[in-house]
């Protein structure tokens, strides 16, 4: 519908200029962190899959990852123009900037120019939006798709026919295929489009009954497409999921404003900001009733569903999984503040000035915090560890990284972004110490493994001045190397590698990346030493 306050309908050039300026500010704060550090642990998955074909990307994501392959596949297509860190990260910037535009347009259409600009301003600087808008992960695309789902859902609610719901079906299929938490997000959207008033007394039940088959058909189609991703997610052991706690909820909600990880946030800050966000959302529900259903289904319901699953079945709570809620918080703030700032009978100018001052202060503080999050180093320092090895490794040495994500990362920064194929470069004996995958490999057989590009070809990569090795099985090359440089995280147990050292070797640490130089004495085996000799590690 046409909004009389639209910047186009009356050539509202101040609004157009403000829109462009806010987009530029959003781009600037996202760009501030691009390229300052190397990629960290989770980002390495996406960067590594980008070396593969579309089919291999889908196979690799199912082999190594808890998440569905859609995000990785689109990044593979994006990488056809380059594989460098900055170019890959620009993919996330693109999706994040598209989310800003959608936040503005959807809020503009519903509540006018002022609400749209305020929503855009907040979304431009919200910590989680900035954080994920410059990270090589699927969260900026996830948030964009959820905003699109809101538009498609409203279209269905206005014309409740399956044909009108096809765009929503498509968007929900994409949501489910982009993140393992998509099943929760999809359930929340389906609740949003559940026949209106079905639970209200006095509602026309005949209309509800007429709409219900359409809703069931949409839910069934979308649900069937979710099944492969549900199975993939449930068979994984994800170590960083934690039981639901109040502090975890506070970290999640406050993170929409403050972002995650880079800066240490006191618990009382998180709790206070969580209460402030809850108060703002409650005020929006009261004063902007048009958003009551949106806030309930796109913010409250996903958290309630995840909390219930975590309490009843197994922990699935992860703060960043709820990052798609942040754009809806921005929409709520835009609509609420526009109403409070509007000229209404009985609304004193002084009160509106206070609201405007508080909103400006909140925007400035959030923007400042997000900017400092961007420029504060914190990521796993693979790039710096690679620079150290490049300087100190000598001819005759080898570099050994048993764990595959560390191997992928170090290969990227020692050999180059297109170092090789992660499906082909695996330990043929013990790929990743998985209990499930060896059984799957055995059932598939050699021919199917070859067809799916799952058959390991080598555990060695060349291209650096010395060979790089992966895998947990004994490494014969270690017995003839002058020195073995072992690289891993703090959780790496060196005793499991069966190397020759009995004492603690020289160690250099780069945040969460540790490098060890192990030099065997003449005649001392590097692979046959009994484990009992290594207990001092």
- Is the separation of the CB atoms in 140 and 164 below 8 Å? no
- Res 532: pLDDT: 28
| ∠ CA 493-499-500, rounded to 5° | 125
- Res 519: pLDDT: 85
Listing DSSP states for 429-492 in one string gives S-SS--SSHHHHHHHHHHHHHHHTT-S--BSEE-SSSS-EEE-SS--GGGGT-S-EEEEE-TT-
In the sheet that 460-461 helps form, which strands lie side by side, from edge to edge? 460-461, 468-470, 398-401, 484-488, 513-518, 507-510
Cα separation, 367 vs 373, in Å, equals 10
Cα separation, 339 vs 345, in Å, equals 12
- Res 242: pLDDT: 72
- Res 433: pLDDT: 79
Using alpha carbons, select from 501, 502, 462, 471 the residue that is nearest to residue 484: 501
- Res 479: pLDDT: 84
Using alpha carbons, select from 160, 148, 129, 131 the residue that is nearest to residue 189: 148
Cα separation, 358 vs 92, in Å, equals 31
- Indicate left, alpha or beta for 376 from its phi (over 0: left) and psi (-120 to 50: alpha): beta
* Residues with pLDDT less than 50, the chain: 1-2, 198, 527-537
- Res 333: pLDDT: 98
- Res 537: pLDDT: 24
Using alpha carbons, select from 424, 429, 407, 499 the residue that is nearest to residue 458: 424
The tokens describing 94, both together, are 């693109």
pTM of the model: 0.91
SS (H, E, C) 145-175: HHHHHHHHHHHHHHCCCCCCCHHHHHHHHHH
Cα-flanking dihedrals φ and ψ of residue 236, to 5°? -95, 150
CB within 8 Å of 373: residues ≥ 6 apart = 33, 127, 130, 131, 258, 259, 262, 263
- Res 58: pLDDT: 95
Q: At what angle do helices 41-49 and 70-78 cross, to 10 degrees?
A: 60
Using alpha carbons, select from 405, 517, 409, 420 the residue that is nearest to residue 462: 420
- Res 239: pLDDT: 61
């Amino acid at each position: 519908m046409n909004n009389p306050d639209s910047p186009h309908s009356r050539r509202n050039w101040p609004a157009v200029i403000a829109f462009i300026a806010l987009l530029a500010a959003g781009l600037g704060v996202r760009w501030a962190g691009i390229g300052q550090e190397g990629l960290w642990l989770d980002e390495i998955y996406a960067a590594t899959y980008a070396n593969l074909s579309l089919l291999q990307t889908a196979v690799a994501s199912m082999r190594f990852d808890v998440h569905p392959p859609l995000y990785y596949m689109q990044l593979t297509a994006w990488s056809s123009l380059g594989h460098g860190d900055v170019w890959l990260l620009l993919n996330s910037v693109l999706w994040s900037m598209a989310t800003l535009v959608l936040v503005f347009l959807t809020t503009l259409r519903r509540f006018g120019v002022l609400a749209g600009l305020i929503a855009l301003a907040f979304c431009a600087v919200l910590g989680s939006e900035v954080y994920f808008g410059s990270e090589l992960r699927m969260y900026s695309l996830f948030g964009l798709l959820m905003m699109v789902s809101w538009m498609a859902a409203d279209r269905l609610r206005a014309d409740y026919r399956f044909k009108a719901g096809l765009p929503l079906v498509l968007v929900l299929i994409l949501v489910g295929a982009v993140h393992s938490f998509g099943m929760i997000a999809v359930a929340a959207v389906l609740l949003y489009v559940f026949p209106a008033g079905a639970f209200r007394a006095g509602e026309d039940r005949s209309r509800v009954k007429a709409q219900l088959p359409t809703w069931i058909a949409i839910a069934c189609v979308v649900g069937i497409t979710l099944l492969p991703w549900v199975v993939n997610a449930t068979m994984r052991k994800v170590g960083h999921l934690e039981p639901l706690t109040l502090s975890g909820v506070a970290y999640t909600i406050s993170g929409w404003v403050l972002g995650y990880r880079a800066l240490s946030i006191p618990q009382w800050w998180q709790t206070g900001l969580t209460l402030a966000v809850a108060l703002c959302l409650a005020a929006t529900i009261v004063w902007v009733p048009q958003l009551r259903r949106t806030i309930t289904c796109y913010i409250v319901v996903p958290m309630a569903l995840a909390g219930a699953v975590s309490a009843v079945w197994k922990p699935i709570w992860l703060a960043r999984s709820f990052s798609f809620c942040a754009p809806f918080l921005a929409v709520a703030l835009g609509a609420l503040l526009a109403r409070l700032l509007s000229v209404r009978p009985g609304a004193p100018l002084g009160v509106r000035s206070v609201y405007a001052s508080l909103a400006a202060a909140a925007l400035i503080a959030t923007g400042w915090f997000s900017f400092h999050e961007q420029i504060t180093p914190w990521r796993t320092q693979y790039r710096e560890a690679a620079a150290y090895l490049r300087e100190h490794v000598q001819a005759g040495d080898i570099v050994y990284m048993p764990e595959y994500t560390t191997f992928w990362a170090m290969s990227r920064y020692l050999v180059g972004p297109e170092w090789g194929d992660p499906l082909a470069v695996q330990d043929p004996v013990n790929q990743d110490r998985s209990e499930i995958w060896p059984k799957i490999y055995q059932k598939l057989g050699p021919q199917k493994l070859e067809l799916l590009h799952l058959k390991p070809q080598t555990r060695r990569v060349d291209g650096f001045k010395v060979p790089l090795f992966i895998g947990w099985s004994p490494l014969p090359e270690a017995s003839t190397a002058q020195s073995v440089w072992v690289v891993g995280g703090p959780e790496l147990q060196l005793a499991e590698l069966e190397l020759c050292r009995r004492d603690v070797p020289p160690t250099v640490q780069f945040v969460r990346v540790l490098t060890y130089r192990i030099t065997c004495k003449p005649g001392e085996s590097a692979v046959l030493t009994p484990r009992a000799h290594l207990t001092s590690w």
